[in-house]
Homo-oligomer: A and B are copies of this chain.
């Protein structure tokens, strides 16, 4: 499990209220951030959509960057929560991997705006906050690694053990590509077609053939 984020201090005593308000702030901010980007979004705008005064907003956070951090954290755990339940290992390695790829790309599709935002604005975060995001990303890759490792061990996949991690990242990146290159991919493919084609290609890549003579 991920160690929870470094606590951001607040002027408000009631800890529960802080949680509630912060979630409201995040919900208000996330859409504006996604639409306009972090730098072009005003704290005043967020407060307005949040439905409270700037003064109040600043009782719950210290700086504008705090909001960005909360938003990034929110997006990442949303993605994580959506993905994890779909990644139970059951059935053969091949089927498990197929299901995992399907689940992952489906979620990328659903959350594409958020994912694009996350990657474009991560650099505006402090080093510590960025490290947290990286860790979350690694955790996700770890899930794919597990599946691949099992497949290699039971002979379903034929890649070298040391490349399991790389292939896991490849799969994630090919999934995220659906969001980042939507301007071209989503004209040529439906989501279903995309998932099917990429899955086939990945399985080809993993299929046994390395022992065959040339």
Does chain B have a CB within 8 A of A205?
yes
> Which of B165, B185, B207 is within 8 Å of A169, CB to CB?
B185
As a 0/1 sequence over residues 191 to 210 of chain A, the CB contacts with chain B under 8 angstroms (1 = contact) are 00010011001101101010
> Which of B141, B181, B204, B207 is within 8 Å of A173, CB to CB?
B181
Q: Do B165 and A188 touch across chains, with their CB atoms under 8 A apart?
A: yes
Closest 7 CB pairs of A and B: A39-B39, A205-B205, A173-B177, A204-B205, A201-B205, A120-B120, A163-B197
- What total of chain A residues lie within 8 Å of the partner, measured CB to CB? 35
Does chain B have a CB within 8 A of A174?
yes
Number of copies: 2
Q: Which residues of chain B are near A167, meaning CB under 8 Å?
A: 201
Q: Do B207 and A124 touch across chains, with their CB atoms under 8 A apart?
A: no
Q: Which residues of chain B are near A166, meaning CB under 8 Å?
A: 185, 188-189, 194, 197-198
Main secondary structure of the interface of A (DSSP, over half): helix
Q: Which residues of chain B are near A20, meaning CB under 8 Å?
A: none
Q: How near does chain B come to A134, taking the closest CB pair, in angstroms?
A: 6
Q: Do B169 and A201 touch across chains, with their CB atoms under 8 A apart?
A: no
Q: How far is the CA of A175 from the CA of B132 in the complex (A)?
A: 25
Q: How near does chain B come to A125, taking the closest CB pair, in angstroms?
A: 12
Does chain B have a CB within 8 A of A184?
yes
> Which of B123, B138, B185 is within 8 Å of A184, CB to CB?
B138
Q: How near does chain B come to A95, taking the closest CB pair, in angstroms?
A: 15
As a 0/1 sequence over residues 104 to 147 of chain A, the CB contacts with chain B under 8 angstroms (1 = contact) are 00000000000000011001100000000010001001000000
Q: Taking CB as reference atom, which chain B residue is nearest A183?
A: B134
Does chain B have a CB within 8 A of A155?
no
Does chain B have a CB within 8 A of A86?
no
